[in-house]
Amino acid sequence: NEYKSINAGYSGNILIPHIDREMIIRTIVENRKVTFHFFGVVHHAKMNDNQRQWIAALKSQPNVVLHGVLPTEELILNFQKIDIFLLCYKSDSKSYHSDNSHKILEYLSTGKVIVSSWIRHYSGLDLFPMCNENDNRGYANLFNQILSDLTYYNSKEFAQQRKNYASDNTYQIQIQKIATILSSDENNKY
Protein backbone atom coordinates (compact mmCIF):
# COMPACT_ATOMS: atom_id res chain seq x y z
CA ASN A 1 0.00 0.00 0.00
CA GLU A 2 1.59 3.29 -1.09
CA TYR A 3 -0.36 5.29 1.54
CA LYS A 4 0.89 3.63 4.74
CA SER A 5 3.09 6.40 6.14
CA ILE A 6 2.93 10.18 6.26
CA ASN A 7 2.21 11.33 2.72
CA ALA A 8 3.40 14.52 1.07
CA GLY A 9 2.07 15.58 -2.31
CA TYR A 10 2.77 17.86 -5.25
CA SER A 11 0.32 18.30 -8.10
CA GLY A 12 1.01 20.01 -11.40
CA ASN A 13 3.60 20.06 -14.12
CA ILE A 14 6.73 18.84 -12.36
CA LEU A 15 8.79 19.58 -15.45
CA ILE A 16 8.50 23.37 -15.11
CA PRO A 17 11.83 25.10 -14.51
CA HIS A 18 10.77 27.17 -11.46
CA ILE A 19 10.55 24.20 -9.10
CA ASP A 20 13.40 24.34 -6.60
CA ARG A 21 14.52 20.82 -7.44
CA GLU A 22 17.49 20.90 -5.09
CA MET A 23 15.30 21.70 -2.08
CA ILE A 24 12.66 19.13 -3.05
CA ILE A 25 15.27 16.36 -3.39
CA ARG A 26 16.92 17.39 -0.11
CA THR A 27 13.52 17.25 1.64
CA ILE A 28 12.82 13.81 0.17
CA VAL A 29 16.25 12.44 1.14
CA GLU A 30 16.04 13.82 4.69
CA ASN A 31 12.58 12.30 5.23
CA ARG A 32 12.80 8.64 4.27
CA LYS A 33 9.75 7.76 6.39
CA VAL A 34 7.55 10.14 4.36
CA THR A 35 6.15 9.00 1.01
CA PHE A 36 6.26 11.79 -1.58
CA HIS A 37 3.56 11.64 -4.26
CA PHE A 38 3.88 13.59 -7.51
CA PHE A 39 0.79 14.04 -9.67
CA GLY A 40 1.19 15.44 -13.17
CA VAL A 41 3.19 15.16 -16.36
CA VAL A 42 6.37 13.10 -15.89
CA HIS A 43 7.18 12.51 -19.54
CA HIS A 44 6.64 14.14 -22.88
CA ALA A 45 8.25 13.81 -26.31
CA LYS A 46 10.17 17.09 -26.12
CA MET A 47 11.76 16.67 -22.69
CA ASN A 48 15.24 18.13 -22.41
CA ASP A 49 18.19 16.53 -20.59
CA ASN A 50 17.63 18.68 -17.52
CA GLN A 51 14.02 17.49 -17.23
CA ARG A 52 15.04 13.84 -17.80
CA GLN A 53 17.68 14.13 -15.04
CA TRP A 54 15.10 15.61 -12.66
CA ILE A 55 12.62 12.78 -13.28
CA ALA A 56 15.45 10.23 -12.93
CA ALA A 57 16.44 11.83 -9.61
CA LEU A 58 12.84 11.52 -8.36
CA LYS A 59 12.51 7.94 -9.60
CA SER A 60 15.76 6.98 -7.86
CA GLN A 61 14.30 7.87 -4.44
CA PRO A 62 12.70 4.86 -2.72
CA ASN A 63 10.09 7.05 -1.00
CA VAL A 64 8.77 8.74 -4.18
CA VAL A 65 5.69 7.69 -6.16
CA LEU A 66 5.22 9.30 -9.60
CA HIS A 67 1.53 8.97 -10.40
CA GLY A 68 1.57 10.80 -13.74
CA VAL A 69 -1.54 12.59 -14.95
CA LEU A 70 -4.71 11.29 -13.31
CA PRO A 71 -8.40 11.84 -14.13
CA THR A 72 -9.90 14.52 -11.85
CA GLU A 73 -11.93 12.05 -9.77
CA GLU A 74 -8.86 9.89 -9.12
CA LEU A 75 -6.77 12.95 -8.26
CA ILE A 76 -9.40 14.06 -5.73
CA LEU A 77 -9.35 10.62 -4.08
CA ASN A 78 -5.55 10.71 -3.89
CA PHE A 79 -5.56 14.26 -2.48
CA GLN A 80 -7.67 13.01 0.45
CA LYS A 81 -4.76 10.76 1.48
CA ILE A 82 -2.14 13.52 1.47
CA ASP A 83 -1.03 14.94 4.85
CA ILE A 84 1.27 17.73 3.62
CA PHE A 85 1.28 19.51 0.27
CA LEU A 86 4.49 20.81 -1.29
CA LEU A 87 5.11 24.05 -3.12
CA CYS A 88 8.73 25.02 -3.60
CA TYR A 89 9.48 27.45 -6.40
CA LYS A 90 12.71 29.28 -7.08
CA SER A 91 12.09 32.98 -7.28
CA ASP A 92 13.44 34.44 -10.46
CA SER A 93 12.84 37.90 -11.78
CA LYS A 94 12.25 36.78 -15.38
CA SER A 95 9.66 34.02 -15.34
CA TYR A 96 8.35 33.44 -11.83
CA HIS A 97 7.90 36.26 -9.36
CA SER A 98 6.55 34.36 -6.32
CA ASP A 99 3.25 36.25 -6.57
CA ASN A 100 0.72 33.42 -6.55
CA SER A 101 0.01 29.90 -7.77
CA HIS A 102 -3.37 28.53 -8.82
CA LYS A 103 -2.57 25.15 -7.24
CA ILE A 104 -2.63 26.69 -3.74
CA LEU A 105 -6.44 26.97 -3.80
CA GLU A 106 -6.62 23.29 -4.80
CA TYR A 107 -4.39 22.39 -1.88
CA LEU A 108 -6.27 24.66 0.55
CA SER A 109 -9.58 23.07 -0.43
CA THR A 110 -8.38 19.83 1.21
CA GLY A 111 -7.72 21.65 4.51
CA LYS A 112 -4.26 20.07 4.76
CA VAL A 113 -1.12 22.05 5.52
CA ILE A 114 1.10 23.33 2.71
CA VAL A 115 4.85 23.73 3.13
CA SER A 116 5.69 26.50 0.72
CA SER A 117 8.32 28.79 -0.66
CA TRP A 118 7.40 32.45 -0.16
CA ILE A 119 4.22 33.45 -2.04
CA ARG A 120 3.39 37.16 -1.99
CA HIS A 121 -0.40 36.74 -2.20
CA TYR A 122 -0.49 34.52 0.90
CA SER A 123 2.34 36.09 2.91
CA GLY A 124 0.12 37.89 5.42
CA LEU A 125 -2.73 35.39 5.67
CA ASP A 126 -1.27 32.82 8.08
CA LEU A 127 -2.94 29.93 6.22
CA PHE A 128 0.24 27.85 5.91
CA PRO A 129 3.95 28.15 6.72
CA MET A 130 6.33 29.44 4.07
CA CYS A 131 9.99 30.24 3.64
CA ASN A 132 11.38 33.75 3.80
CA GLU A 133 11.13 35.87 0.65
CA ASN A 134 13.65 34.80 -2.05
CA ASP A 135 15.20 32.26 0.31
CA ASN A 136 14.37 28.56 0.13
CA ARG A 137 17.46 27.41 2.05
CA GLY A 138 15.29 26.61 5.06
CA TYR A 139 12.66 24.66 3.08
CA ALA A 140 13.73 21.18 4.28
CA ASN A 141 13.95 22.44 7.88
CA LEU A 142 10.50 24.03 7.59
CA PHE A 143 9.13 20.74 6.26
CA ASN A 144 10.69 18.89 9.23
CA GLN A 145 9.24 21.41 11.67
CA ILE A 146 5.73 20.90 10.25
CA LEU A 147 6.22 17.14 10.17
CA SER A 148 7.20 17.09 13.86
CA ASP A 149 3.91 18.79 14.80
CA LEU A 150 1.62 17.62 12.00
CA THR A 151 -1.36 17.10 14.31
CA TYR A 152 -1.22 20.79 15.25
CA TYR A 153 -0.83 22.06 11.66
CA ASN A 154 -3.62 19.80 10.39
CA SER A 155 -5.95 20.50 13.32
CA LYS A 156 -9.66 20.85 12.58
CA GLU A 157 -9.46 24.60 13.22
CA PHE A 158 -6.64 25.21 10.72
CA ALA A 159 -8.18 22.81 8.21
CA GLN A 160 -11.48 24.71 8.36
CA GLN A 161 -9.73 28.08 7.90
CA ARG A 162 -8.01 26.75 4.76
CA LYS A 163 -11.21 25.22 3.37
CA ASN A 164 -13.13 28.44 4.05
CA TYR A 165 -10.50 30.52 2.28
CA ALA A 166 -10.59 28.20 -0.75
CA SER A 167 -14.40 28.23 -0.95
CA ASP A 168 -14.46 32.04 -0.58
CA ASN A 169 -12.06 32.37 -3.52
CA THR A 170 -13.44 30.07 -6.19
CA TYR A 171 -13.52 31.32 -9.77
CA GLN A 172 -17.29 31.77 -9.49
CA ILE A 173 -16.97 33.94 -6.38
CA GLN A 174 -14.19 36.00 -8.01
CA ILE A 175 -16.38 36.56 -11.08
CA GLN A 176 -19.20 37.76 -8.79
CA LYS A 177 -16.80 40.14 -7.00
CA ILE A 178 -15.59 41.55 -10.33
CA ALA A 179 -19.17 41.95 -11.57
CA THR A 180 -20.08 43.83 -8.37
CA ILE A 181 -17.09 46.15 -8.78
CA LEU A 182 -17.85 46.75 -12.45
CA SER A 183 -21.52 47.46 -11.81
CA SER A 184 -20.68 49.89 -9.00
CA ASP A 185 -18.16 51.61 -11.31
CA GLU A 186 -20.86 51.88 -13.97
CA ASN A 187 -23.26 53.42 -11.45
CA ASN A 188 -20.63 55.89 -10.27
CA LYS A 189 -19.93 57.23 -13.77
CA TYR A 190 -23.10 59.31 -13.92
Please list the alpha-helical segments (H only) found in 116-170. 139-148, 150-153, 156-168
**How far apart, in whole angstroms, are the C-alpha atoms of residue 136 and residue 88?**
8
From the number of C-beta atoms within 10 Å of its C-beta (0-12, 13-18, 19+), residue 190 rates as: exposed
pTM above 0.75, yes or no: yes
**How far apart, in whole angstroms, are the C-alpha atoms of residue 98 and residue 163?**
22
Please report which confidence band the pLDDT of residue 45 belongs to, taking 50, 70 and 90 as the band edges: confident
**How far apart, in whole angstroms, are the C-alpha atoms of residue 70 and residue 75?**
6
- The secondary structure of 58-95 as a DSSP string is HHT-TTEEEEES--HHHHHHHHTT-SEEEE-B--BTTT
Instruction: Write the single-letter amino acid at 89.
Output: Y
The sign of the dihedral angle between the CA atoms of 14, 16, 17, 20 is negative
Residue 1: per-residue pLDDT: 46
Residue 168: per-residue pLDDT: 80
Of 93 and 72, more confident: 72
For the beta carbon of residue 151, count every other beta carbon within 10 angstroms: 7
Taking residues 9-18, what's their average pLDDT?
90
Give, in degrees to the nearest 5, the angle at Cα 48 between 117 and 16: 25
Rg (C-alpha) for the chain, rounded Å, is 18
Residue 158: per-residue pLDDT: 93
Condensed to tens digits (0 to 9), the pLDDT of residues 167-189 reads 887 666 666 666 777 777 655 65
From the number of C-beta atoms within 10 Å of its C-beta (0-12, 13-18, 19+), residue 81 rates as: middle
Average pLDDT, the chain: 85
